[in-house]
Structure 1
Amino acid sequence: GAIEVETEDGRVFKGSHILVAVGRRANTDGLDLDKAGIKTTRTGIDVDDSLRTSNKKVYAIGDVAGGLQFTHVAGYHAGVIIRSMLFGLPAKATTRHIPWATYTQPELSQVGLTEAQAREEYGSKLEVVRFHYSHNDRAIAERKTRGLIKVMVVKGRPVGASIAGEQAGELINLWALVIANKMKMGQVANMVAPYPTIGELNKRAAGAYFSPRLFESGAVKKVVGFVQKWLP
């Protein structure tokens, strides 16, 4: 009853079941899009950055537009084309601030650049901040301490966040807001989170970014030393 899968590089994986995730493709075959001058692709409809098709009077949004196939992306696309269609405002769709979540146990979530992508794009300018669930009192109380938040930061500004752990899909919301609005780690650190919550992990992750600067900076040490020496 065992199953073995051998990959092209010779590795062998053994298990009891196989899960096949083949994805999905937009069903456009019956729409006669060619008659309207709308170009299609292998996965759906060809669109530009503003989600406009090759027929300038027609837009395409959601899964059919290719790219990330999430319900929340379709909702985001709708907001983009409404600005363009109803108000005549320039609007383009981007994916850098789009979060995704995988509802495994523990959950996985991501927004912006991964660590590998950020290193490739920013090189030595990148700082990676990590904060473990095991330091969160709510996680300890509920015995769900297996997890990690990782934030990719460039010049004080987050460019990506990865989370594995309890409620990762909820925690990523804050980092999606931060990246979409180009906020800085200081603004996250200034947030007051209710105690004890899993959500406090985000604030603590931001604090972990500043801790080395506070305790390793020579200038800070001098100021602290002066204050301690001369003030009552």
Structure 2
Amino acid sequence: MRTRRDLRSVSNKRVWAVGDIADPEGVGPRAFTHVAGQHAGILVRSMLFRLPAKVDYAALPRVTYTDPELAQIGMTEAEAREAGHTDLRIQRWSLAENDRAIAEGRPEGVVKLVVTPKGRLLGASILAPRAGEMAGTYGLMIGRKLPLSALAGLVLPYPTLAEGGKRAAGEFYTPKLLSPAVKRLVGLLRHLPQA
């Protein structure tokens, strides 16, 4: 059912729709249990408490529960370009360089961040064991419009798979922090075997 962002029907403001039938963006419903929960919260705020509340899918996490899992939060690179973001920074971090993934014998996977040149996170893609468990951090960042520096500076427990995103975010700032000579040295050191 075509709905407005407050989940009222476009054709009759006295009718509300939530869950799989609601379509506030006109692109088809978002058939996820967590979306229905989000809709229920909006409906309660709007109907019972008369507070303004609207659907915002900018930070919607989508997870495919395969092995490894695939999680997408916010925009994909293609969606960001379609939305007019022509100058993007794509940050990737392979889980082959993640100590937890290596220790568990599951180093396959990658974290990919879609970032504006000024450091605003537009989207994140994660291919990793338990990728859905990592999605919340990116949803919070996108939904609250936190700068990428918040992720780069986040203190995470070690070792965790979530460090992959932090490392990808940190790579965004590398060109600003290192001279060309130091960058070459760091690049060479990254290829040395770890003890």
TM-score, length of structure 1 as denominator length: 0.71
What secondary structure, in the 3-state scheme, does the structure 2 residue paired with 1:130 have?
A: strand
1:55 to 2:17 alignment: no
Q: How does 1:143-154 map to 2 (within 5 A)?
A: 143-154=105-116
C-alpha displacement of 1:217: 7.6
The correspondence for 1:111, drawn from 73, 85, 106, is: 73
Distance 2:69 2:179 in 1: 34
Describe the superposition over 1:64-108 as per-residue Cα deviations: whole angstroms up to 9, x where unpaired.
Answer: 214110000000011112221122222221222110100111110
Distance 1:106 1:180 in 2: 25
Describe the superposition over 1:20-55 as per-residue Cα deviations: whole angstroms up to 9, x where unpaired.
Answer: xxxxxxxxxxxxxxxxxxxxxxxxx33212101233
2:177 corresponds in structure 1 to 214
Cα RMSD, aligned residues only: 2.0
Distance 2:58 2:180 in 1: 33
CA 1:213–1:50 in 2, change beyond 3 Å: closer, same or farther? same
Distance 1:180 1:168 in 2: 18
Question: How many correspondences in the alignment?
Answer: 176
Return 5+ residue gaps in structure 1 as ranges: 1-44, 222-232
2:98 corresponds in structure 1 to 136
What secondary structure, in the 3-state scheme, does the structure 2 residue paired with 1:194 have?
A: coil
Distance 2:14 2:85 in 1: 42
1:98 to 2:54 alignment: no
CA 1:97–1:123 in 2, change beyond 3 Å: closer, same or farther? closer
TM-score, length of structure 2 as denominator length: 0.83
Distance 1:172 1:209 in 2: 19
Distance 2:107 2:18 in 1: 39
C-alpha displacement of 1:145: 0.7
Larger radius of gyration: 1
Letter paired with 2:41: G
1:65 to 2:65 alignment: no
1:16 corresponds in structure 2 to none
